[in-house]
Every structure is written in structure tokens, then in C-alpha cells.
Amino acid sequence: MKKDIILCGVGGQGILSIATIIGEAATKAGIHLKQAEVHGMSQRGGDVQSNLRLSTETIYSDLIALGSCDLIISMEPMEALRYLPYLSKDGVIVTSNKPLVNIPNYPEEKKLFEELAALPHVVQLDIEQVAKEAGNARGANVVLLGKAARYLEIVTPEQLREAVATIFARKGEAVVEANLKAFDAANEG
């Protein structure tokens, strides 16, 4: 089994933390992993993306070929569309439904959502609202991971949940619990 994932968003949204959590779960499960990151102008709100390839067999390249991505996990809806050429015909997009308008020529929201709605496999969620309701306003990225967990398939939601606890352990029990609550809020819904 293999899973090719593109994680994308805007600098500071926590994309690389999602990659770290998935990587931790895969490593603990004994799954082969390759990762390539593009930080771009991340410190200035530019695009950030990571190619994450997971497989039960050896992986020879860390880059995902056009048309072969199984899952796009996006913190920002326009960023999800940026990587559409990489998505396979059966691929799934799990994205925030709240645009982060950080450029002057950001597309009109109506057109953006029409384009997403025209795709066959798109899951959208107000991750910021779910994070606030879960009591962890800074945990939108973990909410997004919780929503995407069922589509990863090569690692289970429980393995991801354990990885969340491991990754945040150094920040203390309260931070671990807040992030687990954020993960569960979207994973259950």
C-alpha cells in the first residue's frame, strides 16, 4: 500500500507540524517515508507545501508526480487548487473553507468555491471554528489532520492520535490534551 500526500497552506499555519505528526505515526508503524518540503516565502505568509510519500514498500523518490497524489491536505482553499494538477482522478482534497487573503490578486471567493465544488472528492471544514469550539484556537492544523485522518488509510486515526501526543509531549500535558481534543473534534465529525 502507498499514499502520496501533498500538505499545503500559508507560512505559519502549521503545515510542517502536520507533516511531523504523520511522519511520527508512519515511523512508529514501520512504514517507509519520504518527504520533500518547499517553504517558499513562509515567513512572510507565502505558500508552504510538503510532499509526503508513505508506503509499505521501498520509496525511491521524495517527489510526487503529476496526477498521482492520493490526498491533498490544505490549510487554505486556494492553495489546494494550486496543487490540483498533482491530484489523481480518485484523489481527495481535505481543506479549510476559510480563505486567507494574503495577496492583492486573490481569486474571488465565489469562483474559488465553485471550482472546489466542481471536483468529485472534496471535504471542506471551518477548521478555525472547530478549533475554537474545542478550546484550542491555535489548533486549526490539528483539526484539519483529524478531518483528513480517515483518508490517510496507511496509518490509522488512532496511530495519528498517538503521534499527536508524542509530538506535543515536550510542551506539557495541557498542550497535549488541547491538541488531542482538537484532533478528536474533527475526527469524530
CB of 78 within 8 A of CB of 98? no
Kindly give the parts of the chain with pLDDT less than 50.
none
| H or E segment and range at residue 70 | strand 69-74
Domain 2-100+109-187: give its CATH code.
3.40.920.10
Q: Quick one: which of 22, 142, 29 has its CA closest to 70?
A: 22
* Predicted local confidence at residue 19, as pLDDT: 93
Q: What is the DSSP letter of 106?
A: P
What does the pLDDT look like over 45-97, one tens digit per residue? 677 889 999 999 999 998 999 999 999 999 999 999 999 999 999 999 999 99
| Extents of the domains making up the chain | 2-100+109-187
Query: In the prediction, which pLDDT does 141 show?
Result: 96
Sheet of 87-96, strand order? 32-38, 47-55, 2-10, 69-74, 87-96, 122-125
